[in-house]
A and B are shown apart, each in its own frame.
Chain A
Amino acid sequence: MPTNPPPSIVLEDVILAYGEHRVLDGLSLSVAPGSIYALLGGNGAGKSTTLSALLGFAKPESGTILVSGIDPAIAPDDARRQVAYLPENVALYEHLSAVENSDYLLALSGSPRSRDTIITALDAAGLQERAWDQRLGGFSKGMRQKVAIAVALLREVPVLLLDEPTSGLDPRATGDFNRLAIAVRDRGTAILMVTHDLLSAIDIADRIGFLDAGRIAEEVEAAGPDRFDIRALHARFAGPVAV
């Protein structure tokens, strides 16, 4: 490999507190372009706050946060131009169709696209043709996610932030999502996904970080044909189980 490209997401020694309570306490991690970083952790470990900080919603007391080299605390709009964010429950406009939703959101983010382009992206995201012009009212979470990812693809953002993308998805939909995430990564996008879903993380992540009390307690990188030692990870994540 030639020189490594600079990481798209950087968090370094980030300390962020809500009042007296330090939610992030020296958090450091980085995500390179074209890689997936899975951030695992229990409730209250600081996962959502990490995303908030990256989106510029929460400002750290100290430390460095960079999104494509931009500090979201200083220039939130510039940072957000580099980011697509998918909340846990991707909610779109039920009164608009998939194409209309995409069209609208693209226009809102200042990157309008033609209908053909949108359809190509929806297709690439795996949304079936009959759903393109259907109102979103009856869409499942998986389908809505596909629309949102199509929008992210069309925005050509270098960073994708995913909040619990697989929670509530059935195994088949989870598989669909995982394939899509890999496809996006392979286009060079840096993906940070916050999740409870160890299996998905093992399947697609290039690196897994365990968040505990606001800092990375342990970080493992995929290596070798098996990528991760599933047993060790599971033990680390769920705690030892007495049999």
Chain B
Amino acid sequence: MGDTPVGDALMRIWMYEARLLMRSRLAAFALILMAVLSIAAVIAGLWEVASQRAAIARIAPAQADDIGAVADWIDKAKDPGSAAYYSFHPTWDAPSPLAFAAIGMRDVAPYILRVRALGLEAQIYDGDVYNAELALPGRFDFAFVLVFLGPLFVIALFHDLVSGEREAGRARMLAALPGGSRHIIWRRGMLRLALLSTTLAAPFVAGAIWSGADGVATLTIVAVAIAYLAFWAAITTLVSWFGRSSVANAAMLAAIWLMTALIAPTLAHVAINQTIPVDQGAEIVLAQREQVNRAWDIPREETMRQFYAAHPEWADSPPLPATFHYKWYFAFHQVGDEAVAAKVRAYRAGLERRSQAAAALGWILPSVGVQAILTRLAGTDLIAQLDYQDRVRAYHRRLRNFYYAYMFRDRPFGKADFGKAPRFSQD
């Protein structure tokens, strides 16, 4: 009677597993909801990134308008100092192709910053306009759906994987089949995991392709997402195996989720900020301002000596006239910046340590770890912000040197010279 080839059996089993899953209302509903949420999150992320790109694209016309007007009246006196003083130069941090998946800090940290060749420390910490009440709850992006909601869906799909068969009275009969029930549970788990991962990750992959993301990074995120879901599936199955009723399992698992996804990170946040104190950034700005304004009350030559000692390339500039000269003004701004350089380094190191501590915590708390990996790959974390500040600093150095070449050599600064100013570029 073996009228069907045995090799067919496996195919048939998978088909029935899928049929059973889709005929369970809870499972079907969970999978559809997961797909809807993931699609919505990816679209919301893409929208946010598109609006940030659009804002960056709007810089050029606005800037042309602004600098054009400045150039018009500077051209009359051709004073390079005034040109440097009144010209704002835009910098920006364009979102990476993967930023849509994890907005990270991009909603609260500025991605456009205009700087002048004046003291940078008084400018670089400026923020952009944003509605703090909107930022408070956190973004609705792919990372959120994965990190926060993903486990809940795993719990919904897996919590009765083992205990459900027991409660339905099938467990002993299945165990009595050759091969036992372990294979059955394993297959069902894999199927659920595969379907859940697909519904979650497919919209992300589509979004990544749409925005032209790097293949390796995209696949890394997919792998991380699957690993994260698999981790929760393993925990859920474990609890389901040793636990009692499905209800008790679900309650226990939701409690574990609450602890790891919400409570532990908030506790860790308090702990990290306590153990790694960061000198308030405000102190840098206060100190820099004292330095800068002190220049008006000390002999100007003292400032210039300090400046030339650090920047001998301008030391051959003619001596200061009796009247106001912008090169002195810019010199004391730069001396002010340099006076707080150590504080700036310490501040930055503190921020990096905080970020590293959180990333290290990710090894223990998968929710934190996944969020950290996603924001890192998306270039939207604190480190990415600091990198942007580094680029701004490098650009600011070029700006200073550009204007100094006019100021310290007393070269006139005409309309055409505005076009020669260095331009910020992302890399």
Are the C-beta atoms of A57 and B175 separated by less than 8 Å? yes
Q: Which of A84, A95, A113, A148 contacts B1 (CB 8 A)?
A: A113
State in angstroms the CA–CA spacing of A92 and B23 once bound together. 14
Chain A residues packing against B (C-beta within 8 Å): 55, 57, 76-78, 80-81, 83-87, 89-93, 95-96, 100, 103-114, 117, 148, 154, 156, 161
Given A95-B23, A154-B1, A156-B1, decide whether A112 and B180 contact each other with a Cβ distance below 8 A. no
Are the C-beta atoms of B172 and A85 separated by less than 8 Å? yes
Which residues of A are found within 8 Å of B24, using beta-carbon distances? 95
Are the C-beta atoms of B173 and A111 separated by less than 8 Å? no
Given A112-B9, A113-B1, decide whether A86 and B173 contact each other with a Cβ distance below 8 A. yes
Which residues of A are found within 8 Å of B10, using beta-carbon distances? 107
Interface hits, B3-23 → A, CB 8 Å? 3-6, 8-10, 12-13, 16, 19-20, 23
Are the C-beta atoms of A91 and B4 separated by less than 8 Å? no
Category for how many chain B residues contact A = 20 to 34
Chain B residues packing against A (C-beta within 8 Å): 1-6, 8-10, 12-13, 16, 19-20, 23-24, 168-170, 172-180, 184
Are the C-beta atoms of B12 and A112 separated by less than 8 Å? yes
Which residues of A are found within 8 Å of B184, using beta-carbon distances? 108
Question: Quick one: closest A residue to B24, CB to CB?
Answer: A95
State in angstroms the CA–CA spacing of A84 and B178 once bound together. 10
State in angstroms the CA–CA spacing of A90 and B172 once bound together. 10
Counting from the closest, the 5 A-B pairs by CB-CB distance are A91-B169, A95-B23, A85-B176, A112-B4, A104-B16
Are the C-beta atoms of A80 and B19 separated by less than 8 Å? no
Q: Which of B23, B172, B173, B178 contacts A110 (CB 8 A)?
A: B178
A233: min CB distance to chain B, Å: 29
Which residues of B are found within 8 Å of A106, using beta-carbon distances? 9
Q: Which of A83, A90, A96, A111 contacts B20 (CB 8 A)?
A: A96
Which residues of B are found within 8 Å of A103, using beta-carbon distances? 12, 16
Q: Which of A57, A91, A108 contacts B177 (CB 8 A)?
A: A108
Are the C-beta atoms of A113 and B3 separated by less than 8 Å? yes
Given A86-B173, A108-B13, decide whether A77 and B180 contact each other with a Cβ distance below 8 A. yes
Which residues of A are found within 8 Å of B20, using beta-carbon distances? 93, 95-96
Question: Quick one: closest B residue to A55, CB to CB?
Answer: B176
Are the C-beta atoms of B9 and A80 separated by less than 8 Å? no
A24: min CB distance to chain B, Å: 18
Which residues of A are found within 8 Å of B178, using beta-carbon distances? 77-78, 80-81, 109-110
Are the C-beta atoms of B169 and A110 separated by less than 8 Å? no
Q: Which of A76, A89, A96 contacts B169 (CB 8 A)?
A: A89
State in angstroms the CA–CA spacing of A89 and B167 once bound together. 12
Which residues of B are found within 8 Å of A93, using beta-carbon distances? 20, 170
Which residues of A are found within 8 Å of B180, using beta-carbon distances? 76-77, 80
Q: Which of A87, A92, A96, A154 contacts B172 (CB 8 A)?
A: A87
A188: min CB distance to chain B, Å: 15
Are the C-beta atoms of B168 and A91 separated by less than 8 Å? yes
Which residues of A are found within 8 Å of B176, using beta-carbon distances? 55, 80, 83-85, 161
State in angstroms the CA–CA spacing of A104 and B21 once bound together. 14
Question: Quick one: closest A residue to B184, CB to CB?
Answer: A108
- 27 contacts across the A-B interface (CB closer than 8 A): A55-B176, A76-B180, A78-B178, A80-B180, A83-B176, A85-B176, A87-B173, A90-B173, A91-B169, A93-B170, A95-B20, A95-B23, A96-B23, A104-B13, A107-B10, A107-B12, A108-B177, A109-B177, A109-B178, A110-B9, A110-B179, A111-B6, A112-B6, A112-B8, A117-B3, A156-B1, A161-B176
